[in-house]
Structure 1
Amino acid sequence: MSTPPRRLESAAQAIAAAHEIAGQIAELARDRHNNRQLPRRQAQLLSDSGLTAIGVPAQFGGLGASVQTIVETVRIVSAADGGVGQLLQIHNVMLRGVLSGYPDEVRERLIADLLAGKRLGNALAEVGGKNKFALKTRIERREDGKLVLNGSKFYSTGSYLAEWISLTAASDDGGAGVLLHRDTPGLTLLDDWDAFGQNNSVSGTVQFDNIELDERYVLRRQGPMKRTGLTFPQILHAAIDTGIAAGALQAGIDYLNQHARPWVESEVERASEEPHIIRQIGEYAVALRAAESLLRDAARTFDAHELAPDDKALQDELILSVATARAHSDAASLKISSDIFSLLGASASLSKWNLDRFWRNARVHTTHDPIRWRLHHVGNYYLNGIDPGEYTAILAARQSAGASR
């Protein structure tokens, strides 16, 4: 009989649990032989720690953790392994989406599974269409009245190891959300994620072959998309990149203290005493501290927004602060994880150290959502007074106005 997951009862316990498992996840990440293995052990650590249940509202038996707490746990885990941090990120994003709108019996089953440590994955994006919202996955109603799902998704983060998969599909009645249990007949999960980074996000293919749907698990889209609807996944993406930056800096510092040799002109005994290295580490640390501060500021703004969701000024500030955190976390993760090799020496590039994992994870993860468009919205707000937005709501508004197809 498996041991039930830990029940976390405070933000402090959640943060402590994240630090505890991050140490074990980092140990696994340091071994390059784990790079091409499914992160079953890492995913189980997330569940056993209780972290996957902290987003369940208190009235349903969970911690009801604040955005600040969830962001911090994702950041801590991502410092150990950005791919595992993304498993936790997408789980929390899907969790917020599935606990409203579905019938009570569906919600109760989901909550029971979440409190038991079960995880959620996503199947949202597709490849081959005009853009990420051009969905070929469809729900059709057969002559016998049954709803049937067919199609395929890629970038399905976490789904291969998840109990429940949350997906989107098109239909004659508009877009819909669907929840599928991993044992659903006609559902195929493929372990085909083969990128040079973020391997442990297991973001491969999910296929749907004439799946007969239980209509209780189908949620029709109602009303316009929330203007701030993407800020939660966005802030958690910033937490991943900030964590990767922190992990890269610490790994570099450890190498400098334990393995690096001083340059011959330096006239010092240790690489860590070299003045140019000290200054450069200071520059990296400043970049990291700025990203961490901006991430915390955005999380505080998010929690304030949760208390007053219709406050237009708070909506603006939330979108701007999350965009700012994303821009700085993007830059810090890429700069530190790549440039730090200039301080470590040629031996640091040897595969046995596996130090390139931070850059590989940062480079792959930061392609997720173009920073150039986050900067565009910030610039347009300051220069032209245009309300900042997130692309789901913007595109939906254009489509409803007939401006795009």
Structure 2
Amino acid sequence: MTATAARVITGDAEALAVARDLAAELATGDSERDAQRRLPRAEVAALAASGLLGVTVPREHGGADVSARTMGELMAVLAEGDASVGQIPQNHFFFVEVLREAASPAQKEFFFAEVLAGRHFGNALSERGTKSPRDYAIRFEPRPGGDVLVDGTKYYATGSPFAPWIPIYANDPDGRLVAAWVPADAPGVTVEDDWHGMGQRTTGSGTVRFDQVVIPADWVVPVWTIFERPEVFGAFGNYLHAGVDLGIARAALRDAKDLVRRIARPGIESTVDRPADDPLIIQEFGELALRVRTAAALLHEAGDALDAARAAPTVESAAEASVAVAAARAETDRAAVSVASDVFALIGARASAQELNLHRHWRNARTHTLHDPRRMKVFHIGNHALNDVPPPPSGLV
């Protein structure tokens, strides 16, 4: 595998500063990449070289080990620059977390060194035709001598066209959940760029085929062990998704501000020269800004709850963190979809012009928020508030 020379970031403030600089660069080509569905290979390489993909590596392994609160904002910053590029590292950080929580010391030493060298992770989690998202039919068979055979197909493999490593989820012979790291260039691995969703067009969320692929057993991590103790592993993964949604909402509001000032015209009954001076437009823009601020506040609150639970993991602290993340995910979902839709009314018919591509924000929001239903988040919030029932330790909440 070819390494990308990666910077090593040492702290939270540096991580956010690097993210903001990179996001500004991403924003310059975001609309064009989306319109042309041009995969962001150079942009992902720049992301890897920036050192941002190593910021959750523990300090004892040379990483910055930034806080969860920082990670939520970091994801939002990147997604505001380009929602597709912003989503790509979500799975990478998810699998870094798998290593933190369940890997052996030797596995951590090996894979964290890979991450810090710029050799990042894609993913191959989802399958089709199974009963639920947590049923895995992919063949996963230990072989004599200690290797493991992987054979089957995964879908919606976000980031895999760009990644040196493609971790998969599978069930071991005892039916327990494991993760296995497969080199993208291993014999029998085929990555297909066949994702054609209406939004998040350049995430590389296509198909990965594993044809009699053999990997060492040392690259298999027992994910099932995470759920034998109080954990916020699943909450952290969902929290990163909430950051993506917040970034989309911010991007929609940013572009609406520019277009209201630049191309919108006063309404027929308006008495002002500029739409930006119209009290009704100011009022509605304030409502949209309030939704974004509310979502951001809940995201930051959830980050604090995750950090508290990590520092003192108990059933109670894990439940509080999971509920806080559910609240952030529910509100960032609503903000992204509604703000990206409602901005059109502030600008008028001109906002629908294809060349503006303003609709990409709504397409991105509507596509990304389909990962799991908002109603599921609200149910767990309500069940905890009313019946003191914590969210289940499934890794999905």
Describe the shift of the 1:41–1:288 C-alpha distance in structure 2 as closer, same or farther (beyond 3 A): same
Higher mean alpha-carbon deviation, 145-154 vs 301-310, is at 145-154
CA positional deviation for 1:25: 0.6
Equivalence for 1:135: 136
1:253 is aligned with what amino acid? K
CA positional deviation for 1:142: 5.0
Residues 100-249 of structure 1 correspond to what in structure 2 (within 5 A)? 101-141=102-142, 146-175=147-176, 176-223=178-225, 225=227, 227-249=231-253
1:61 is aligned with what amino acid? G
Unaligned runs of 5+ in 2: none
CA positional deviation for 1:5: 2.5
Equivalence for 1:52: 53
Equivalence for 2:328: 325
Does the residue aligned with 1:194 lie in a helix, a strand or coil? coil
Does the residue aligned with 1:156 lie in a helix, a strand or coil? coil
Unaligned runs of 5+ in 1: 395-405
CA positional deviation for 1:391: 4.0
- Of 250, 272, 279, 1:268 maps to 272
1:271 is aligned with what amino acid? P
Equivalence for 1:400: none
**Percent of aligned pairs with the same amino acid:** 36
User: Do 1:164 and 1:181's aligned partners in 2 also have CA atoms closer than 8 Å?
Assistant: yes
Asked if residue 385 in structure 1 is aligned to residue 388 in structure 2, the reply is: yes
Q: What is the distance in 1 between the residues matched to 2:245 and 2:74? A: 13
Q: What is the distance in 1 between the residues matched to 2:224 and 2:290? A: 45
User: Do 1:229 and 1:390's aligned partners in 2 also have CA atoms closer than 8 Å?
Assistant: no
Higher mean alpha-carbon deviation, 26-35 vs 338-347, is at 26-35
User: Do 2:155 and 2:208's aligned partners in 1 also have CA atoms closer than 8 Å?
Assistant: yes
User: Do 2:16 and 2:70's aligned partners in 1 also have CA atoms closer than 8 Å?
Assistant: yes
Q: What is the distance in 2 between the residues matched to 1:323 and 1:102? A: 27
1:318 is aligned with what amino acid? A
1:315 is aligned with what amino acid? A
CA RMSD of aligned residues (A): 2.1
CA positional deviation for 1:247: 0.7
Length-normalised TM-score, structure 1: 0.92
Describe the shift of the 1:7–1:246 C-alpha distance in structure 2 as closer, same or farther (beyond 3 A): same
1:117 is aligned with what amino acid? G
Residues 65-76 of structure 1 correspond to what in structure 2 (within 5 A)? 65-76=66-77
CA positional deviation for 1:110: 2.0
User: Do 1:174 and 1:221's aligned partners in 2 also have CA atoms closer than 8 Å?
Assistant: no
User: Do 1:165 and 1:180's aligned partners in 2 also have CA atoms closer than 8 Å?
Assistant: yes
Q: What is the distance in 1 between the residues matched to 2:348 and 2:223? A: 54
Q: What is the distance in 2 between the residues matched to 1:265 and 1:221? A: 62
Describe the shift of the 1:143–1:32 C-alpha distance in structure 2 as closer, same or farther (beyond 3 A): closer
Number of residue pairs matched by the alignment: 393
Describe the shift of the 1:393–1:80 C-alpha distance in structure 2 as closer, same or farther (beyond 3 A): closer
Q: What is the distance in 1 between the residues matched to 2:360 and 2:396? A: 35
Does the residue aligned with 1:210 lie in a helix, a strand or coil? strand
CA positional deviation for 1:378: 1.2
User: Do 1:244 and 1:362's aligned partners in 2 also have CA atoms closer than 8 Å?
Assistant: yes
Asked if residue 61 in structure 1 is aligned to residue 62 in structure 2, the reply is: yes
Length-normalised TM-score, structure 2: 0.93
CA positional deviation for 1:258: 1.4
Asked if residue 302 in structure 1 is aligned to residue 303 in structure 2, the reply is: no
Describe the shift of the 1:110–1:391 C-alpha distance in structure 2 as closer, same or farther (beyond 3 A): closer
